[in-house]
């Protein structure tokens, strides 16, 4: 008579089995991308200082230890947030009009900065905290693509790098400057009061106070285009490259 079937013990121990993916509040697996998306939402809403690993864990509906499986610390979270924003910046390296393409890149960068204004300090500073070769590919990719665009246009590699640095140095300064144009009293019609310039001693800051109408009429898009006109025209005129 045949023996009754016996249960077979799996040769792998319980601790060897792959752990199932953590599940978030929506029933979807908790991945690194999901963690960084939640971090970006917290920063967009409350600012960088309000981001913590505990709040991040609450946002994805899991224990903090689940978060640490994907990002080892808050610094890694901040790097990741900068990464996913930079992923949205694309460069068409095949564009035959390098000036027009750099304008497109500049406008896209400003658009991202205005869409996520509280991430701008991360976009400007986080990449600088890591050696170039150790930065996420999404952060290095715009550099590679701009170099490809410019070398195809006829610039030497060193000159292409100079153009990239000049362009992004200008962009970083521009978005930081645009975002700090804070109006103190929007309902005021007097520009000095509207901008809070009445707090500055008139005897020490006469020129600044005199420019109140210009400051109050600040147009970030127009300032960007004017700056690009000056920058790109100067680069094209002073660097050997396309005829």
Please write the tens of the pLDDT for every residue from 180-214.
766 667 777 788 887 888 888 989 999 988 988 88
CA neighbor of 241 nearest in space, from 162, 151, 167: 151
**C-alpha span between 242 and 236 (Å, rounded):** 8
Report the half-sphere exposure of 7 (CA within 13 A, side-chain side): 2
Which CATH number belongs to the domain containing residue 136 in this structure? 1.10.357.10
Q: Residue 23 gets which letter from DSSP? A: B
Do both 95 and 67 map to the same domain?
no
Do both 224 and 141 map to the same domain?
yes
According to the model, what pLDDT value does residue 179 have? 86
How would DSSP label each residue in 62-106? S-HHHHHTT-SSHHHHHHHHHHHHHTT----TT-S-HHHHHHHHH
According to the model, what pLDDT value does residue 28 have? 65
Phi and psi, residue 29, nearest 5°: -60, 145
Residue 118 in domain: yes
According to the model, what pLDDT value does residue 146 have? 97
Q: The pTM is what?
A: 0.79
The residue segments making up the domain with residue 148 are 91-238
| Structural domain count, the chain | 2
Regions in the chain scoring below 50 on pLDDT: 1-26
| Residues contacting residue 7 through CB under 8 Å, at least 6 positions apart | none
Length of the chain measured in residues: 243
Structure-token match 């981001």, residue found: 51
Do both 66 and 164 map to the same domain?
no
| Gyration radius from the chain CA atoms | 25
Q: At 9, list the tokens.
A: 């013990």
Do both 106 and 61 map to the same domain?
no
Residue 114 in domain: yes
pLDDT tens digits along 145-154: 999 999 999 9
**Do the Cβ atoms of 242 and 149 come closer than 8 Å?**
no
Residue 7 in domain: no
According to the model, what pLDDT value does residue 225 have? 97
Residue 2 in domain: no
According to the model, what pLDDT value does residue 226 have? 96
pLDDT tens digits along 54-80: 999 999 988 888 899 999 999 999 999
According to the model, what pLDDT value does residue 43 have? 96
């Amino acid at each position: 008579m045949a023996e009754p079937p016996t249960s077979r013990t799996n040769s792998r121990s319980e601790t060897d089995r792959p752990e199932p993916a953590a599940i978030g509040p929506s029933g979807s697996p908790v991945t690194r991308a999901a963690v960084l998306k939640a971090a970006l939402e917290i920063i967009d809403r409350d600012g960088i200082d309000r981001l913590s690993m505990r709040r991040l864990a609450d946002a994805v509906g899991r224990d903090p230890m689940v978060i640490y499986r994907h990002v080892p610390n808050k610094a890694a979270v901040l790097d990741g947030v900068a990464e996913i924003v930079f992923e949205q910046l694309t460069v068409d390296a095949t564009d035959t009009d390098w000036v027009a393409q750099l304008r497109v890149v500049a406008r896209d960068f400003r658009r991202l900065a205005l869409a996520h204004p509280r991430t701008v300090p991360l976009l400007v500073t986080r990449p600088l905290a890591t050696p170039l070769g150790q930065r996420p590919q999404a952060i290095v990719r715009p550099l590679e693509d701009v170099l490809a665009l410019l070398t195809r246009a006829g610039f030497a590699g060193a000159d292409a790098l100079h153009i990239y640095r000049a362009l992004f140095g200008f962009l970083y300064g521009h978005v930081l400057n645009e975002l700090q144009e804070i109006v103190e009293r929007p309902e005021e019609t007097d520009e000095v009061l509207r901008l809070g310039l009445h707090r500055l001693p008139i005897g020490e800051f006469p020129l600044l106070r005199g420019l109140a109408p210009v400051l109050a009429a600040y147009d970030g898009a127009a300032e960007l285009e004017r700056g690009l006109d000056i920058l790109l025209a100067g680069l094209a005129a002073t660097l050997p490259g396309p005829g």
